[in-house]
Homo-oligomer: A and B are copies of this chain.
Amino acid sequence: MKVVVTDAVFDPYAEVQKYQAGLKSGQSGGVVSFVGTMRDFNDGHEVSTMWLDHYPGMTEKHIEQVCEEALERWDIIDVLVVHRVGEIKPDESIVLVATWSAHRAEAFDSCRFVINYLKKRAPFWKRESTSKGQRWVEHNTEDAAADIPD
């Protein structure tokens, strides 16, 4: 398990490959990854940059808790999370979640669980700079949609 919170631009797929190179070879079968990217529109406003605030220490702790829960709940080999903080520009990656498993269904379910619960529990806050000025995002647009698998 590896959790990284970073203020540097990161290449999600380079991270997946680098981490996978350290896993025992020939064992995994499948990896499911989710990469969330900064969009240049939100609620109809053009967004030029975003600032992602976090609570150092608590943020990492809660992402790790979600990953540990996934490792207990599903038959998966490993999980990797990388999350940006600080100033983010359109098309930059915000978050990567990757899960490795011998079983495709377990990889899908656990990856989805980690991104969904990370979004609910890990302390991050988005502030967008739009043509109308800066504003804190009050809620994630997808929170209303009950897309949490159980």
A residues within 8 Å of B by Cβ?
A: 13-14, 16-17, 25-41, 90-91, 102-105, 107-108, 111-112, 115-116, 142, 145, 147
Contacts and interface: CB of A to CB of B under 8 A. Distances in A.
B26 A147 contact: no
A31 B26 contact: no
A91 to B, nearest CB: 5
B25 A31 contact: no
Given A13-B13, A103-B142, A105-B147, A30 B26 contact: no
Contact of A33 (B14, B25, B33): B33
A39 to B, nearest CB: 5
Nearest to A39: B29
A93 to B, nearest CB: 10
Contacts of A34: 30-32, 104, 107-108
Contacts of A91: 25-26
Contacts of A103: 142, 145
Contacts of A30: 34-37
A107 B36 CA distance: 11
Contacts of A14: 13
A124 B105 CA distance: 20
A2 B131 CA distance: 36
